[in-house]
Amino acid sequence: MNYGYLLIALAFNATANILLKVAAVGSQGTGIRALMTNPFAVAGVFIFGCNVYFYIQALRVLPLTLVYPVMTAVSFLIINSYGFIVLKEQWSAASAVGYAIIILGIGLVVSSYR
């Protein structure tokens, strides 16, 4: 279950960020009350809490030098892919090269722990 905790944390992290984006775009106001009554914002915050639990579990059984880079980079890739595919946000050629470098880097980090 070592990597399972990390995978669950990744899924929760990406989902929470996407829900918060949906909440931000669909919010009727900018104040705290508008966010507290927005179901997407509430769900996003709750899921971030779930993410923290599984992230801590991953840190209990895996090295920080593995968990943190994988968590941040893979979440970054998932969230940005969602932005590109679903929200039709633009990527530049430089962004695509950067994402490829991130994928290569994560592959190197993970392979160094096998």
**Cα distances (Å, whole numbers) of residue 78 to 33, 60, 61, 94, 103:** 29, 24, 24, 18, 11
pLDDT, one tens digit per residue, over 68-114 is 999 999 998 999 999 999 989 998 999 889 989 999 998 898 888 87
**Cα distances (Å, whole numbers) of residue 112 to 54, 65, 99:** 23, 11, 20
pTM (2 d.p.): 0.83
Written as one string, the DSSP assignment of 10-75 is HHHHHHHHHHHHHHHHH-S-SSHHHHHT-HHHHHHHHHHHHHHHHHHHHHHHS-HHHHHHHHHHHH
pLDDT, one tens digit per residue, over 18-77 is 999 999 887 777 778 878 889 999 999 999 999 999 999 999 999 999 999 999 999 989
| Residue 58: closest CA among 113, 97, 105 | 113
Written as one string, the DSSP assignment of 70-113 is HHHHHHHHHHHHHHHHTS-----HHHHHHHHHHHHHHHHHHHTT
